[in-house]
Amino acid sequence: MSTFKKAAGECALAALLSSAFCLFAVALFAVFVRAYAPSEVTIAVVDRVILAVGIFAFSALFIRRERALFKGAAAGVLSLAVTTLVFGCIGGFHFTVLFLAELLLSALFGGLGALLGVKLRKE
């Protein structure tokens, strides 16, 4: 298997599982929202935190050694794209000016998660 295919597979796996985690966690959070009716700001912040945790954790778990920072950043951006697409199909697309910042933070969390995963893993 070529190095590029291997790297693409790692990024895709991390991004898809991160997106699945986000969908599941947001669905659980929706039950809480239904019961307690928190403010819209609280809902937006929790959604962003769930996304960041998912990107960080799954990049740490699935990204391997060589060029981990770049693969993690790619997985973070891809995860954000998939999650935004799925949530957009469900509830409509709502892009704000902060989407660029969210894109950069997703890349940062993915890269840092991958670096941490490489440091903690004994390969």
pLDDT digits (tens, 9 = 90+) for 16-41: 999 999 999 999 999 999 888 899 89
**Residue at 70: amino acid letter:** F
Q: Taking the model in full, what pTM does it have? A: 0.91
* Structure tokens, 86: 């799925």
Mean pLDDT for the stretch of residues 64-87: 94
Number of domains in the chain: 1
Displacement of CA 50 from its chain's centroid (Å) = 8
Query: pLDDT confidence of 97, banded at 50, 70, 90?
Result: confident
Q: Which domain holds residue 9?
A: 3-120
Which residues make Cβ contacts (< 8 Å) with residue 23, sequence separation at least 6? Answer: 83, 86
